[in-house]
Amino acid sequence: MWTRTFLLFGLAAATCAAASLIRPGAVWPDNRGEHIQAHGGGIVKLGATYYWFGEDRSRNNDPEKRYVACYRSTDLAHWEFRNQVVKLADPENLGPHWVLERPKVFYNRRTKKFVMYAHIDGRGYSFASVAVLTCDTVDGDYRYLKSFRPLGHESRDIGQFIDDDGSAYLIFEDRPNGFHIAKLSSDYLNVEKDVCLIRQHLEGGALVHYHGLYYAIGSQLTGWRPNPNRYATAPSLAGPWSEFRDIAPPETNTYGSQSTMMLKVAGTKATTVIFMGDIWKPAAQWDSRYLWMPLEIGGGKLWLPAPADWTLDVKTGVAAVRAASK
Ligand code: GAL
């Protein structure tokens, strides 16, 4: 009897854990059973709920429009589709094949508005600007406001960072100059001031503050093809930044992925920093996959372990990696 109860309990626990697996590179079904469309994405946390925004490249989208989808979760493994929060028709007359990429949403506590930044461009990527959209609710329909070049600079890939004091930063790739970390204005509708320009050509930029050090990561400029992503550290956002080093064995090209964000999950027992990357499939973008793994981080070192299925307890912050997959 005892054994049976124990066994049943064990089985239930195993089923539960299996259902919460995060599986790098796999199809990631949402609550409807459809592969999550949140490519080049970002996450904002409200209370205990995470909202994941990203490029929605569903096959049946209108090819003239660009879409951003929003999902929500409390465990970072199960995602509920909320809305195609952006369904936009070429607001700047950029022509066929215009792009709206890497959407990132910031919540402004003062104005109570949700402010989305995205990379807006034409087919040849020469418009090189950010688009700003706003909404009164996190997963409502976002309204297009404007586009501009942050601080007058070219801007292609963007990233977002919220510091521990709540300050919001836009990371942007400026081809002639490098990797900018720039502070948003108090209403988040503008990019106010460069906090640092790292003179490195890196995109897919992401930042995290972990145990007193800032870690920046980025990929090299190879379009949809993966490359060895790199990281540097600094005691403050303004620098000085260390040399950039590989985050994974360079021959793996970041295990076929490209950085989009680092997400810090601080629990009661541990703080896990998740590397969020995209495994792009340029000829079948709707099927592009995600590579999320807990980073080995601390003491100025950052390392992306080989992809394997893993679980995360968002309450304790403890991540458990299974035996290497595939
Ligand atoms: C990548 C970038 C993607 C997309 C792609 C287009 O470098 O990270 O977001 O812009 O280029 O080739």
**Protein residue whose Cα sits closest to atom 12 of ligand 1:** 223
d(CA 200, CA 196): 12
Give the HSE-up count for residue 294: Cα atoms under 13 Å, Cβ half-sphere.
22
Q: Are 314 and 264 in contact (CB under 8 A)?
A: no
The response to whether residue 204 sits with its C-beta less than 6 Å from ligand 1 reads: yes
d(CA 87, CA 107): 20
The response to whether residue 124 sits with its C-beta less than 6 Å from ligand 1 reads: no
pTM of the model: 0.94
The response to whether residue 6 sits with its C-beta less than 6 Å from ligand 1 reads: no
Residue 29 Cα to ligand 1 middle (Å): 24
Give residue-wise pLDDT tens across range 167-213: 999 999 999 999 999 999 999 999 999 999 999 999 999 999 999 99
**Protein residue whose Cα sits closest to atom 11 of ligand 1:** 223
Q: Which of 120, 215, 84, 119 is nearest to 161 (CA)?
A: 215
**Protein residue whose Cα sits closest to atom 6 of ligand 1:** 223
The response to whether residue 223 sits with its C-beta less than 6 Å from ligand 1 reads: yes
The response to whether residue 307 sits with its C-beta less than 6 Å from ligand 1 reads: no
Give me 235's structure tokens: 């005691």
Q: What is the pLDDT along the chain (326 residues), one digit of tens a residue?
A: 333 333 343 344 444 444 589 999 999 999 999 999 999 999 999 999 999 999 999 999 999 999 999 999 999 999 999 999 999 999 999 999 999 999 999 999 999 999 999 999 999 999 999 999 999 999 999 999 999 999 999 999 999 999 999 999 999 999 999 999 999 999 999 999 999 999 999 999 999 999 999 999 999 999 999 999 999 999 999 999 999 999 999 999 999 999 999 999 999 999 999 999 999 999 999 999 999 999 999 999 999 999 999 999 999 999 999 976 55
